[in-house]
Structures are given as C-alpha cells and as structure tokens.
Amino acid sequence: MADQNSKSVTSTDDNTKVKKRNQQMPEKRDSDIKTKKQAEKTNIIKVTSQFLKDAKTEFKKVKWPTRKELIASTTIVIILVIIAALYLSLVDFGLMSVINKIVG
C-alpha cells in the first residue's frame, strides 16, 4: 500500500513538471516560428534578387539574331509546317478512303 501511494505521488509530481514544461514551450515555439518566418522572407528576397541579377547577366551574353537571320528562320519554319500539314492531310485522306472502301 505504501509503495502505491509513493508511486502516485511521484507520478503526480511528474505530471506537474510536464504541464509546466508544456506551458513554457509554446512561448519558445512561437518566437522560434516568428524568427524562422522572418528568416525565410529575407532568404526568399535574397534568392529572388540573386536570380534576377544572374538572369540579367545571362541575357547580356545571348547573341540575338539579326533581322535577316530571324526572317530566314521564320520562313523555313513556316514552309516546314505547311509541308507537314500537307503530308498529314494526304495520309488522312488516304486512310479515310481505305476505311470507307472496307466499311462500304
């Protein structure tokens, strides 16, 4: 009997200690969260500004095409798209006529 009473007293003391610890911890957690959020905001701003600086530097390194090169490339692309469209339409027409002959 005496052992059970001493155990219950000890467990009550432990529960009180845990409660006190839990009451103190949220204050630390809130302040930690606030400082982490501020650090993340500062970090995001630094990372973003560094990215924009790097992008600007890379754009300066790009060799942009002249007007003549741009027109030549655009013309080639348009001609190849027209050729591909004609080829696909002929294949489609041919397959459609074969299916119509089979189905009847």
CB of 65 within 8 A of CB of 73? Answer: yes
Amino acid 46: pLDDT:
87
Locus of tokens 């095409």: 65
The CA distance from 95 to 9, in Å, is 90
pTM metric for this prediction? 0.45
Under DSSP, the state recorded for 66 is P
Write out pLDDT tens, residues 41-99. 678 888 899 999 999 999 999 999 999 999 999 999 999 999 999 999 999 999 999 99
Helix (H, G, I), strand (E, B), or coil: what is residue 63? Answer: coil
User: Which of 2, 51, 55 is closest to 10 using CA atoms?
Assistant: 2
User: Which of 66, 85, 65 is closest to 77 using CA atoms?
Assistant: 85
Residues 6+ apart with CB under 8 A from 73: 65
